[in-house]
Structure 1
Amino acid sequence: MDYEDQLERAIEATPDSESVGERFTVPDVEVRQEGKMTVFENFRETTDVLNRRPEHVMKFFQDELGTSGHIDERGRARLKGEFRADRIAEALDGYVDSFVRCNECSSPDTRLVTEQGATVLKCDACGALSPTPDL
């Protein structure tokens, strides 16, 4: 078998990128209004997928949305004010970009660590250390 035949065989054996699901998907936000509060129903599930402390994510949301809030006994984020689902999703994307995905390889296999008094994003896939915004 020559090179061209081997290459063609390898291409045929490789699955299409559209058919292979990404292993890291952030859940769609589920929000509802409750009076003058916005309740992020699947907040706990989302923080579990992101592998981040709910308190850290909540602090980011408060800063990003310019509001106050808390995590209730059922693990839902309760934010003061009325926010549409797309605004919450936009803030969540900002969190993922700043505190979850590696800046070098885009892997979600990261963790927040403290290096010389500063919190940085350490990638378990490529080993990169990236600065994170202050919260």
Structure 2
Amino acid sequence: MEYDDMLDRAIEESPEIDGTSERFEVPDPEVRQEGNVTVFENFQQVCRRLDRDPDHVMQFLQNDVGTSGHIDESGRARLTGEFDAGRVANAVGEYVDEYVLCPECGLPDTRLEREQGAIIRRCEACGARSPVEN
């Protein structure tokens, strides 16, 4: 059997993967100002959609916007300072690029694993493994 024939057969027998990230939509951040604090109202909903630990997302947000903050008792993120929805959305987008979307296939079907002190993003769709920034 020729290589091209084998390749065609492999492609035909491969399962279809919805190769677009269009099915993955992150809710727009709902933010409001409370004095000198920006309240990210739907923070928990965003974390659930990302399938990531809220503490990890919060730590990234704080580093990205350059402020301190915490998650309040009702699950909202409270960031010290005034940040508009666009700024928070940009930070969430950067988090998605760094920690959620697979760099190989572009799908969001990833899990974060710790391996020898490094964080590895493992894709459950294509099997790719890639290190991420700590």
Q: TM-score range by the shorter chain?
A: 0.7 to 0.9
- Residue in structure 2 matched with residue 47 of structure 1 by the alignment: 47
Uncovered stretches (5+) of structure 2, i.e. residues with no partner: 1-20
| 3-state SS, counterpart of residue 102 of structure 2 | coil
Name the residue aligned to 1:106. Answer: 106
Q: Within 2, Cα distance between the matches of 1:86 and 1:36?
A: 17
TM-score (norm 2): 0.83
Matches of 1:44 and 1:85, distance apart in 2: 16
After superposition, give the CA deviation of every residue in 1:55-84 in whole Å (9 maximum; x if it has no partner): 000000010011000000111000000001
CA-to-partner distance for each residue in 1:69-114, whole Å, 9 max, x for gaps? 0000111000000001100000000000000000000110001001
Structure-1 residue corresponding to 2:127? 127
Determine helix, strand or coil for the equivalent of 1:29: coil
**Cα offset for 1:24?**
1.2
Distance in 1 between residues matched to 2:87 and 2:103, nearest whole Å:
23
Aligned residues: 115
5 Å matches for 1:1-135?
22-134=22-134
TM-score norm. by structure 1 comes to: 0.82
For residue 22 of structure 1, report the CA deviation from its aligned partner.
2.8
**Aligned partners of 1:84 and 1:24: how far apart in 2?**
23
* Cα distance in 2, alignment partners of residues 101 and 22 from structure 1: 12
- Is the partner of 2:39 in helix, strand or coil? strand
Taking every aligned residue pair, what percent have the same amino acid on both sides?
61
- Aligned residue type for 2:87: R
Q: Give runs of ≥4 in structure 1 deviating > 2 Å.
A: none
Query: CA–CA distance in 1 between the matches of 2:100 and 2:71?
Result: 20
RMSD value over aligned CA atoms?
1.4
How far apart, CA to CA, are the structure 1 residues paired with 2:124 and 2:115?
Answer: 15
1:133 and 1:36 map into 2 onto residues whose CA distance is 30
